[in-house]
Amino acid sequence: MNELRGLLQNNNLKIATAGVPLLADALSDQLVPISRIDWRPAVPGSQEALNRVMADGRRDGANSLALARMLAAGALLVDVRQAKDALGLEPGTFLHAGPPLTWERASGPMRGALLGGTIFEGIASDAETAEKILSSGGIDWEPCHHRDAVGPMAGVVTPSMWMFELLDPTTGNRSWCSLNEGLGKVLRYGAYSGEVIDRLRWMREVLGPLLKLAVQRRNESPAGPIDVQAILAQMIQMGDEGHNRNRAGTLMFLRDLLPDLIESGAANSDVATSARFMGGNDHFFLNLVMPACKLQTMAARNIPGCSVVTVMARNGTDFGVQVSGTGDTWYTGPAEIPVGLFLGSYTEKDANPDIGDSAITETAGVGGFAMAAAPAIVRFIGGTVPDALAATRRMYEITVGENVSRGIPVLEFRGSPTAIDVTRVIRTGILPQINTGMAGRIAGVGQVGAGLVNPPMECFEGAIQGLAQAAPQVG
């Protein structure tokens, strides 16, 4: 180091920096003039495809349009309906999280949730019978995303489950998500014991109809539908990042809905039980944040030449990505095991690979991308406050722009990084940061922890090849 001492006191020094901005920022803070050069080696094997995509004259405009559409999308809670009505989900057809998947390749928690769904729908009365039906093709299933729905963790939706229905008034698009069951032994984490099925039945018989009544009453009131995007913007001011932490969002949802629930004419004991159920689950609002985020990315779909990611989703085996410029093509790679903290005596050996459609939050610029807004959660996933700030700052490197309506307080209200650009991921090698829950790898176990995870680079390598093929032929 000694020969470097005094280096910065040479006033004629010309400094060019490349890569992550840590060095540049440190020098800049000391009033040293620098030139920031945006250069990094591309991910190996992708350089040719990247060149072709970068040469596509449509890309800049297409990406700006995608960002503008994502920022303009709204999300109003317009109804609560059963999946058979809302999505036309036929008897014997289920939805699940992530890209398409066969029974043979399905992980423990995905199998557990499908088993539970089969029992819940009355198609089988026990797990053994359910497994025979599922493994012999007696049930059809497809990704939630194929019906513009999203499901956390296993994301299993069956026809009689109640769904939040959200409307984007800008595009007229609609998206759906089931009701959150709470934590621990719940279907979405692959548990399917009697208590799990009993809770789902109570949600079908009591909670769902009550929410429908309250939402309808609210929609007919002068206040109009609950604005999920507005609550999401507020959450970011209140320590939530919208994926692993939804405490403030859940509280604001309760504040906004409960008066109409009280006046709905439902039995007060059911209303109070429902209020306690929702209020006792800080994640209840996640199932409204997710379809709100889906509406944002739906607005950015199918723009020719656009390299913005519109879906990131995991089925517990594969991680899948969709990109605006290549429509509904899935680019997949193996789902990774999250890194974080475990409940009780569970360890990494008990954890299933990454699962769930909830990475739609990061795809829309919250969750791990807004980690700096939620320093209080870093302790629950084994990190520090500077880690949280660094995570958000890193995401600015791979996104098209910022969402000013989601100003992050500690970053002096800088907007959250929004619209992941495949070319930036390939050029920088920086992968999207995802906050997530961890399911036990054995069917029936339920949640074992929470932590951080990245998509496999294969998804983006596939996507850049797909974009290159879709780019105009040049030279």
| Interface positions with its own copies (CB under 8 A) | 5-6, 9, 237-239, 247-248, 251-252, 254-256, 258-260, 262-263, 268-269, 271-273, 275-276, 279, 375-376, 379, 384-386, 409-410, 412-413
CA dihedral 420, 421, 422, 427 (to 10 degrees): -120
Q: Which is nearer to its own copies, 182 or 333 (CB)?
A: 182
- What gap in Å lies between CA 127 and CA 120, rounded to an integer? 11
Whole-number Å distance between alpha carbons of 142 and 318: 14
Element (H, E) at 150: none
Distance CA 20, CA 302 (A): 31
Neighbours of 126 (CB within 10 A): 10
CB of 385 to its own copies, least distance (A): 5
Residue 254 Cβ vs its own copies, minimum distance, rounded to whole Å: 6
Using CA atoms, how far apart are residues 401 and 320, in angstroms rounded to an integer? 23
Between 210 and 312, CB nearer to its own copies:
210
Choice between 86 and 226, CB closer to its own copies: 226
Q: Which is nearer to its own copies, 242 or 466 (CB)?
A: 242
Q: How far is the CB of 2 from its own copies (least distance, A)?
A: 11
Question: CB-based contacts of 106: which residues, under 8 Å, 6+ apart?
Answer: 114, 315, 316, 317
Separation of alpha carbons 307 and 304, rounded Å: 9
**Which of 73/278 has CB closer to its own copies?**
278
Q: Quick one: 3 or 412, whose CB is closer to its own copies?
A: 412
Question: How far does CA 385 lie from the centroid of its chain?
Answer: 22
Write the CB contacts of 120 (distance below 8 Å, at least 6 apart in sequence).
158, 160, 187, 197, 200, 201
Q: What does the buried/exposed string (b/e) look like for 238-262 if buried means 16 or more CB atoms within 10 Å of the residue's CB?
A: bebbbbbbbbbbbbbbeebbbebbe
The CA distance from 196 to 199, in Å, is: 5
By C-beta, is 275 or 442 nearer to its own copies? 275
* CB closer to its own copies out of 197 and 376: 376
Residues 6 or more apart whose CB falls under 8 angstroms from that of 247 comprise: 238, 239, 240, 282
- Shortest Å, Cβ 213 to its own copies: 13
**In the bound complex, what is the minimum distance in angstroms from residue 275's beta carbon to its own copies?**
5
Nearest distance, CB of residue 409 and its own copies, angstroms: 4
Closest distance of CB 176 from its own copies, Å: 26
Cβ proximity to its own copies: between 33 and 386 the closer is: 386
Residue 306 Cβ, how far from its own copies at the closest point, in Å?
33
Q: How far is the CB of 15 from its own copies (least distance, A)?
A: 19
Cα(111)–Cα(192) distance, rounded to whole angstroms? 10
How many other CB atoms sit within 10 Å of the CB of residue 392? Answer: 23
